[in-house]
Amino acid sequence: MFSVRHVVETFVRLVQAEIAPNAVLVPPDDVVEIPRLPSLLLHGPMLVENKPRRTMAKEIIKDTDALTYEERPYPRFYHLDFDFTATTVKEAELVDLVAKIVSFFAFHRELEVPPDGEKLNLTELTPMGGLARVNLTNLKQSSGKYRIEDCPVYSDVVETGGLIVTRIFEYEGPALDETRTHEPTD
């Protein structure tokens, strides 16, 4: 299991490694001063619940080696939305940076979250240049919206217990009075 923070940190590290080493995560709608150009700002995450996946079911995880189980409410799934803002001095630099971002999402369809290697889908909601942003500078900017899909958020309420090892059945009736013990089979 992992947290939203763990997923976001993994995502930001991947963006820094593949697109721009100086990419910075900032809160949504926050005013930010850009220290160096070219720059890439990731505004987010903005959480959007995937309501069709909500369920009242319980998630049960068995550990047969320890003969225990954990039961918790099934996780809720949230999409993590990010606005990407690329800023450069020249148009040619902007085109190159936008091309890197587009290529990144074209070829990275999934985000692998360590340590278990669980994968979450990456999708493009609005391509670069598709978002209108206020630009009060002489710098060149382009913005787009991207998403990490179905990040699970787990409850802290966990019930633990032991698994049944030996089953004893008692059969009673007018012609039957018998007890059978069923041992587990591998």
In this prediction, residue 43 carries a pLDDT of 95
Average confidence (pLDDT) over 30-53 = 91
Residue 133 reports pLDDT greater than 90: no
The percent of residues in the chain predicted with pLDDT above 90, rounded, is: 69
In this prediction, residue 186 carries a pLDDT of 57
In this prediction, residue 1 carries a pLDDT of 67
Average confidence (pLDDT) over 30-58 = 91
In this prediction, residue 184 carries a pLDDT of 66
Structure tokens at 157: 């309420």
Span between the terminal Cα atoms of the chain, in Å: 28
Among 104, 86, 91, 99, CA closest to 41: 86
Q: How does residue 175 score in pLDDT terms, banded at 50, 70 and 90?
A: confident
Residue 86 CA to residue 173 CA, distance in Å, equals 79
In this prediction, residue 163 carries a pLDDT of 86
With contact defined as beta carbons under 8 Å apart, do 79 and 50 qualify? yes
Domains of the chain: 4-182 (3.30.2000.10)
Average confidence (pLDDT) over 44-63 = 94
Bridge pairing between strands 24-26 and 68-73: unpaired
The percent of residues in the chain predicted with pLDDT above 70, rounded, is: 97
Residue 169 CA to residue 180 CA, distance in Å, equals 5
Q: What is the mean pLDDT of the chain?
A: 90
Residue 34 reports pLDDT greater than 70: yes
Using a 10 angstrom Cβ sphere, with 0-12 exposed, 13-18 middle and 19 or more buried, the burial of residue 177 is exposed
Average confidence (pLDDT) over 33-50 = 92
- Return contacts of 126-130, CB within 8 angstroms, 24+ apart: 127/102, 128/84, 128/86, 128/98, 128/101, 128/102, 129/98
pTM of the complete model: 0.82
